[in-house]
Structure 1
Amino acid sequence: MNDSPQALQSLEALHANVTDAWSGALLGESRDVGDDVRVMSDDGLVRATEALARLQRSVQVLQARCAAELAGRSRTGDESDVAKKHGFATAERLIVQATGGRYADAARLVSIGEATSARRSFAGEVLPARHPHLATAFESGAVSLDAADLIRRFLDRVALRADRDDLGDAEMLLVERAPVVGVEGTQRLIRQLEAHLDPDGVKPREDELRSARSLKIWQDAAGMINLRGAFDPASGAPIKLAIETLVGAELHAARDARPGFGAKASSAASGGQGDAPHLDGVVAEDRSIAQMNADALADIAWLSLSSSDAPPALRAVTVIVRVDGDDLASGEGHATIDGIEHPVATDTVREWAMSAGVSPLYMAEGCERVQLGRSRRLFSAAQKAVLVARDGGCAWPACQRPPSHTQAHHLRWWKRDEGPTDLENGIMLCAHHHHRVHDDGWTIFIRDARSWFIPPAHLDPDQVARAGNIAPDHLAREHLASGRRARRATRRTDAPAEMGAPAA
Structure 2
Amino acid sequence: MIDELAGAESAVATCTDASAWALSEGDLITALDATHRLQQRLAAVRLALVREVDGRGTAVAQGASSTAVWLRHRLRLDVAAARRLVDLAASVDAAPAGVRDALASGAVSLEQARVIADAVTAVQTVAGPEVADKAVGVLVEWAEQFDPTVLRKLSTRILDHVAPEMADAAARAALDAEAARATRDRHVTVSEQTGGRLRLSGTLDAETAALVRAAIDPLSAPSGPDDTRTPGQRRHDALADVCRLVLRTGELPEHGGDPAQLVVTTGFDELTRQLHAGALDVGLRLTPDTVRRLACDAAILPAVLGGAGQVLDVGRQRRLVSGPLRRALVLRDGGCAFPGCDRPPRWCAAHHIRHWADGGPTSLDNSVLLCGHHHRHLHQTEWAVRLGDDGRPDFVPPAWLDPDQLPRRNHYHRRT
1:168 CA drift (Å): 4.4
Number of aligned residues: 300
1:68 CA drift (Å): 1.5
3-state SS, counterpart of residue 216 of structure 1: strand
CA distance in 2, matches of 1:143, 1:360: 68
1:134 to 2:110 alignment: no
Equivalent of residue 47 in structure 2, options 58, 64, 83 = 64
Amino acid at match of 2:125: L
3-state SS, counterpart of residue 126 of structure 2: coil
Amino acid at match of 1:365: L
Deviations 1:183-225 (A, max 9, x none): 4444444555588534224223312211221011122124321
- Sort the Cα spacing of 1:54 and 1:244 in 2 relative to 1 into closer, same or farther, 3 A: farther
Amino acid at match of 1:86: Q
Is there any run of 5+ residues in structure 1 with no aligned partner, and where?
26-45, 75-81, 118-128, 258-282, 373-379, 383-504
- Sort the Cα spacing of 1:204 and 1:69 in 2 relative to 1 into closer, same or farther, 3 A: closer
Is there any run of 5+ residues in structure 2 with no aligned partner, and where?
24-28, 160-166, 320-416
RMSD of aligned Cα (Å): 4.4
- Sort the Cα spacing of 1:142 and 1:300 in 2 relative to 1 into closer, same or farther, 3 A: farther
- Sort the Cα spacing of 1:318 and 1:99 in 2 relative to 1 into closer, same or farther, 3 A: same
Q: How does 1:324-339 map to 2 (within 5 A)?
A: 324-339=267-282
Deviations 1:9-33 (A, max 9, x none): 77777776666676569xxxxxxxx
What TM-score do the two structures reach when normalised by structure 1? 0.48
1:83 CA drift (Å): 3.8
- Sort the Cα spacing of 1:67 and 1:323 in 2 relative to 1 into closer, same or farther, 3 A: same
1:145 CA drift (Å): 3.2
Amino acid at match of 1:139: A
CA distance in 2, matches of 1:19, 1:71: 35
- Sort the Cα spacing of 1:47 and 1:239 in 2 relative to 1 into closer, same or farther, 3 A: farther
Q: How does 1:473-484 map to 2 (within 5 A)?
A: none
1:304 CA drift (Å): 1.5
Query: Partner residue of 2:409?
Result: none
Which structure has the bigger radius of gyration? 1
CA distance in 1, matches of 2:247, 2:22: 63
1:349 to 2:307 alignment: no
Query: Partner residue of 1:369?
Result: 313
1:238 CA drift (Å): 1.0
3-state SS, counterpart of residue 65 of structure 1: helix
Deviations 1:345-382 (A, max 9, x none): 11012223335xx445555537773499xxxxxxx999
Deviations 1:229-288 (A, max 9, x none): 1111122221123223332x43xx65xx4xxxxxxxxxxxxxxxxxxxxxxxxx2x3222
Query: Partner residue of 2:369?
Result: none
- Sort the Cα spacing of 1:332 and 1:94 in 2 relative to 1 into closer, same or farther, 3 A: same
1:317 CA drift (Å): 1.7
Q: Which stretch shifts more, 158-167 or 94-103?
A: 158-167
- Sort the Cα spacing of 1:313 and 1:184 in 2 relative to 1 into closer, same or farther, 3 A: farther
- Sort the Cα spacing of 1:87 and 1:130 in 2 relative to 1 into closer, same or farther, 3 A: same
3-state SS, counterpart of residue 347 of structure 1: helix
Query: Partner residue of 1:109?
Result: 85
CA distance in 1, matches of 2:312, 2:35: 77
- Sort the Cα spacing of 1:354 and 1:138 in 2 relative to 1 into closer, same or farther, 3 A: farther
CA distance in 2, matches of 1:190, 1:318: 50
3-state SS, counterpart of residue 317 of structure 1: coil
3-state SS, counterpart of residue 161 of structure 1: helix
- Sort the Cα spacing of 1:206 and 1:346 in 2 relative to 1 into closer, same or farther, 3 A: same
CA distance in 1, matches of 2:123, 2:15: 39
Query: Partner residue of 1:208?
Result: 181
- Sort the Cα spacing of 1:180 and 1:360 in 2 relative to 1 into closer, same or farther, 3 A: farther
Q: How does 1:134-153 map to 2 (within 5 A)?
A: 134-141=99-106, 143-153=108-118
CA distance in 2, matches of 1:199, 1:15: 52
Asked if 2 retains the 8 angstrom alpha-carbon contact of 1:115 and 1:131, the reply is no
What TM-score do the two structures reach when normalised by structure 2? 0.57
1:226 CA drift (Å): 1.0
3-state SS, counterpart of residue 305 of structure 2: coil
- Sort the Cα spacing of 1:186 and 1:330 in 2 relative to 1 into closer, same or farther, 3 A: farther
CA distance in 1, matches of 2:86, 2:219: 46
Asked if 2 retains the 8 angstrom alpha-carbon contact of 1:219 and 1:226, the reply is yes
Query: Partner residue of 1:404?
Result: none
CA distance in 1, matches of 2:106, 2:129: 26
Query: Partner residue of 2:202?
Result: 229
3-state SS, counterpart of residue 215 of structure 1: strand
CA distance in 2, matches of 1:90, 1:299: 50
Amino acid at match of 2:248: S
CA distance in 2, matches of 1:105, 1:151: 19
- Sort the Cα spacing of 1:67 and 1:347 in 2 relative to 1 into closer, same or farther, 3 A: same
Q: How does 1:399-478 map to 2 (within 5 A)?
A: none
Asked if 1 retains the 8 angstrom alpha-carbon contact of 2:303 and 2:315, the reply is no
Query: Partner residue of 2:126?
Result: 161
Q: How does 1:219-258 map to 2 (within 5 A)?
A: 219-247=192-220, 249-250=221-222, 254=224, 257=225
